[in-house]
Amino acid sequence: MKFLLVPLLIIGMFVSFSAAMLAMLFFTETVKSPEELQEILSAETDPSRLDASFVDEEDRLGQLASLLEIYRSEYEMRQDSLQDQLDSLGTVQTTLTARETAQDAREVAFGEKTDSTMVALRKERIAELATFYNKLKPAPAAEILQTGTLDDTTVGLLMRQLQAQHMAKIMSAMDPEFAAQITNLMKDLE
């Protein structure tokens, strides 16, 4: 009989405590209707949020924190957008350089430019590309360089102009066979 009374006592205490709690919620008008109580219990509303009447109107810190989150998310979206634009600009810059190099080769073939002029222009273009590729993230840079827009020699010369750490990151993002090919070419260019 004793063993049966202990669980009954626990259940009775739980029921009486729950009833007292419900009575207090309705008495203090924290909960105004059974439907509102059901929403709270079903987690449709956040019961941890204070009612607007309890919040100090001069509490600017909370408002500033919410503004900070809004600005941070907007900043991150714009940062991603700018990085995408920079990556697409890398593709266009690489294509433009390849076309300029091809044009220079045609002008040398027709005798309009000398080989020394073409070499100087090529060095200048590669230096410009290196400055640009040092700003790109490694994965998009590797993808652009592997497309074949630039010839392998130009890619090798460009890679030699990059900062060592950035060059290593780009090489690790490249296809292993292409990276090995460029590495061998860079070794021969010395």
- Contact between residue 127 and residue 119 where contact means Cβ atoms under 8 Å apart: no
Walk along the chain (190 residues) and give the pLDDT tens digit of each residue: 677 888 888 899 999 998 898 889 888 888 888 888 888 777 766 656 666 666 666 677 777 888 899 999 999 999 999 988 888 888 888 888 888 877 877 777 777 767 777 778 888 888 888 888 888 889 988 988 888 888 888 888 889 889 989 899 999 999 999 988 988 888 887 6
Residue 134 CA to residue 79 CA, distance in Å, equals: 17
Say what the pTM is.
0.52
Place of tokens 């010395």: 190
* Three-class DSSP labels, 51-99: CHHHCCCCCHHHHHHHHHHHHHHHHHHHHHHHHHHHHHHHHHHHHHHHH
- Contact between residue 173 and residue 138 where contact means Cβ atoms under 8 Å apart: yes
